Structure 1
């Protein structure tokens, strides 16, 4: 029995560490030899069993030709019958983008050392100068109340400044007249502008994220690049991109807009080969002012002018909006946020083939183009805007909570307000960490399609929570609109951010895990591609390799998950440069990565193609992958910042939040498992001690909230990139000025309150009288009294709200 336990223990240990197939063969043969030749109590039955195991190992691991014939072929044929055929659009979506760190997290054994060793992303001196110069100037020009309620648009001088300074061509290379910025710089610019005006931020971000420039740079012909990119860079052309069709909505593959291959007269030439386009799009940002329209449509060739295929697939083209038949100019009104957005339509609009992005060779490649390029834009724009809203909430809500007093105490010190302040601070820390990590991948030439979906969903949803908390704390100060209000437009923009670039319900329920499970899994996509290979024998060879690698991977995941659960991950190695504060998190994330990967593997094997109809299962597993990624971003950010002790509350709070949400996602998946008893077995195997992670404590809430209530390097790091000033006539500057004066006068205020309590001063006296009496009674110095008076006047001004004449809203 002891020998058997030793043998099984060795097997489990080797499975845990994942040795290769030749070492497995050597191990089993060595065990059989050792037992047969040198073990004193060896029995013929035991020896026979060991040699049988060794023979099976040789057969399965060492003779792939025989294994393919007798094991893999039947499985290959069976899988080919049950797996659904992938459509061309599904295949292109699955193959779009790249897999990097998300694949590591999905493996169940992420390489934390390599992750931490990647260089910290940083801005170049030129990029920093642009942010400190033109971006700062632009923010100074923006008056959000006038933009939203008077102009219903950006003022003409702002449009001119945006064009002249190159904001519309940030991603366009310098060789074409653009700024050639990194994704980090692009993100930082959008984030800063968004803290001043959502309208201006959207105007700047769309040409750099969802406009034709990215498509042209990657897929355009030389002639198209030479013509359009310089014009886009300087603002001579304003771009938009028409994807969302009236009937299709978020199902971009179902667009009914079409282009029919035909011959027409064109610019004095007869029988020019081109397309007759008919479309109806809506929700197209910049469409009312666009001079060039990027258009996605389905191309058809009924007369076989280009070949034998009548259906050519999704295609993208560039349409000058002054062509006959093009209709633009009308506007949508998205929740009173007046960025230019509207419908566009066209009826029998003829374009030659060289208007197609990539020329005639680009016909039918539009879906692939969009999937690859959208993954880049989705990584940058909305995550930056969401983070900007979080930083603005941190800056203003922390200041407001400190200056606003109730019951003779700043409201920020009330436990109920601390409960709301803590997530404002820590979730903004989370959003910013994920933003920076993701754009660093983009700058390293990755196209993180899965991670971009994670970030789009979670940053916009987290923005919703953060801004809601900020509005709750501000109360009436937050809901009364007017020039003084700095939160209302961020609040209104939340559902816009959640809706655009794919509705969040779709993103969470179908995209993150639905796409991620196949793209990020080490072997699943290889197996699917092998099954659908046009050459069955080549497909079988590829399938055999992927299948047995997959089986070994699944076995290792099972052993690792059970052991890590039993040991609570105490014996997991952590990166050599990790610190005491983060080591426990690296251990627990390693455990949860293995748990997530194992549950995913079992679920995929159980449901197969049915997974696409089990949206809530897909959504919960998507949450698991998401929180693994978000937690890893927090750890990377904390280490990149040099592990500052003053930031520990933010790191601990956001890490505990992510780990708890990851645990909840796995428990919810297993509690609603398609096979109930299997879900229970998996839950017991992975979490033998039950739920072991909890949300941040009240004490940690207090520490995280305190960061927003005082001036500190931690607060400055948290709100870095927000537009800041202390101008008492500016919406944000007003509360920042009052905050600075309140902190400076804190000692004087404390003396006044103590004197009132002792009966030396009367509480009903006005501020000026109190100050005079305090000086006369030698409670305050003259300088202290003046500072105290200034602080109270600034606070009184900062907490005021706007009011208007009763006929203000009916004038004009």
Structure 2
């Protein structure tokens, strides 16, 4: 068993780290304060070719695996950018996967190169206000018309819709009550975000203000038939292809944010003196930080195992979900402990850890709840009856 990185993987980490370090705390603080998309960072990563790390080489990508994508996204998130940096990019890693797996050669040639170059930005319209994690209960409907479909409905928590020009859209083409199975009758599209037919309303939120989240109202949007991915009615199965990579990447990002916060806390504990000694000399400060390190390392091992299984073509549902659960919790605890280590100064924006804590919270909430992860593992690994 080899825990080391290959020279190619080390080059990815070093290259991404070099770019990330060009964008310091002041840059990310300004993006957060101004709720401004980090275009400069996004452009730098696109120019270096990293947006296509998992895309096919035939269309300008690197053709690498989820392991490399996880290493890349951890390096992205670890140097002060947090989830603002990660969320500006990670949709490129897992979001277009249905195009890669189920798109026609013509669709791949039309859609993938602009994503790799960063000239196209995509948002993902999956979640709905009255469906949440119960994806089979979406009601956004695509009605067949000559040449394509007319789509009407609502989506929520659609990230980057303020800046995107493309949308991957999950709809029903057969109503749930008329489908043979709940997962049937769902169709997936990738099409232009026509703002004359789509209204996007930003949702004010706790953290990651630099990357917008939105309510989306779709009113009679025409989608050409050539913008449908795969067969009509099989979209739910296509979306499943991207779920495990998404969980792995979210885990990697959460862990990296926790590592960033832990490094800041350890530095502060060495430098801050109270009662004539550094606060890091006190075990009440040392021990919680040491526990955070151990939890982050353990979560990272599970993340790498899940990525290895995925890239090896082996089942990895339990491991990917466990990585997301453990990574989110370890990252959150490290950020919380970092703020506590800073004391009152942890509450000040100057020391960054308050922003990292706000941003890492999303990794515990999305894209799947901890309760559903535990239910999945209980059912699929431990043989318990389905509970929901």
| TM-score, length-scaled by structure 1 | 0.44
Give the deviation of 1:323 after TM superposition.
Answer: 7.0
Check 1:346–1:214 CA distance in 2 against 1; reply closer, same or farther (3 A cut). same
Contact 2:259–2:331 (8 Å) recurs in 1: no
Match of 1:295 in 2: 169
Check 1:412–1:120 CA distance in 2 against 1; reply closer, same or farther (3 A cut). closer
Match of 2:356 in 1: 490
Corresponding residue to 1:222 among 105, 121, 131: 105
2:237 aligned with 1:355, yes or no?
Answer: no
Greater strand proportion: 2
Aligned residue pair count: 379
Tell me how far apart the structure 1 counterparts of residues 19 and 190 of structure 2 sit (CA, whole Å). Answer: 33
For residues 3-57 of structure 1, give each alpha carbon's deviation from its aligned partner in whole angstroms, at most 9, with x where no partner exists.
Answer: xxxxxxxxxxxxxxxxxxxxxxxxxxxxxxxxxxxxxxxxxxxxxxxxxxxxxxx
Tell me how far apart the structure 2 counterparts of residues 352 and 201 of structure 1 sit (CA, whole Å). Answer: 32
Give the deviation of 1:419 after TM superposition.
Answer: 3.0
Contact 2:42–2:88 (8 Å) recurs in 1: no
Name the SS for the 2:158 alignment partner: strand
Corresponding residue to 1:153 among 36, 48, 58: 36
Task: Give the root-mean-square deviation of aligned CA atoms.
Answer: 2.5
2:342 aligned with 1:505, yes or no?
Answer: no
Contact 1:121–1:440 (8 Å) recurs in 2: no
Match of 1:200 in 2: 85
Residue segments in structure 2 that go unaligned for 5+ positions in a row: none
Residue correspondence of structure 1 range 443-522 to structure 2 within 5 A: 443-446=311-314, 448-482=316-350, 485-508=351-374, 510-514=375-379, 516-517=380-381
2:209 aligned with 1:335, yes or no?
Answer: no
Residue correspondence of structure 1 range 546-561 to structure 2 within 5 A: none
Residue correspondence of structure 1 range 580-591 to structure 2 within 5 A: none
Give the deviation of 1:134 after TM superposition.
Answer: 4.8
Match of 1:181 in 2: 64
Name the SS for the 2:310 alignment partner: helix
Residue correspondence of structure 1 range 109-188 to structure 2 within 5 A: 117=1, 119-120=2-3, 122-125=5-8, 127-142=9-24, 143-149=27-33, 151-188=34-71
Name the SS for the 1:285 alignment partner: coil
Tell me how far apart the structure 1 counterparts of residues 51 and 213 of structure 2 sit (CA, whole Å). Answer: 16
2:153 aligned with 1:276, yes or no?
Answer: no
Check 1:425–1:478 CA distance in 2 against 1; reply closer, same or farther (3 A cut). same
Check 1:612–1:300 CA distance in 2 against 1; reply closer, same or farther (3 A cut). same
Corresponding residue to 1:372 among 217, 237, 241: 241
Residue correspondence of structure 1 range 22-37 to structure 2 within 5 A: none
Check 1:402–1:421 CA distance in 2 against 1; reply closer, same or farther (3 A cut). same
Match of 1:255 in 2: 138
Contact 1:299–1:312 (8 Å) recurs in 2: no
Contact 1:337–1:492 (8 Å) recurs in 2: yes
| TM-score, length-scaled by structure 2 | 0.90
Tell me how far apart the structure 2 counterparts of residues 140 and 488 of structure 1 sit (CA, whole Å). Answer: 21
Give the deviation of 1:123 after TM superposition.
Answer: 3.6
Check 1:179–1:345 CA distance in 2 against 1; reply closer, same or farther (3 A cut). farther
For residues 108-137 of structure 1, give each alpha carbon's deviation from its aligned partner in whole angstroms, at most 9, with x where no partner exists.
Answer: xxxxxxxxx4x4463443x43343235412
Greater helix proportion: 1
Contact 1:312–1:363 (8 Å) recurs in 2: no
Give the deviation of 1:155 after TM superposition.
Answer: 4.7
Contact 1:420–1:473 (8 Å) recurs in 2: no
Larger Rg: 1
Match of 1:232 in 2: 115
Corresponding residue to 2:285 among 399, 404, 417: 417
Residue correspondence of structure 1 range 71-110 to structure 2 within 5 A: none
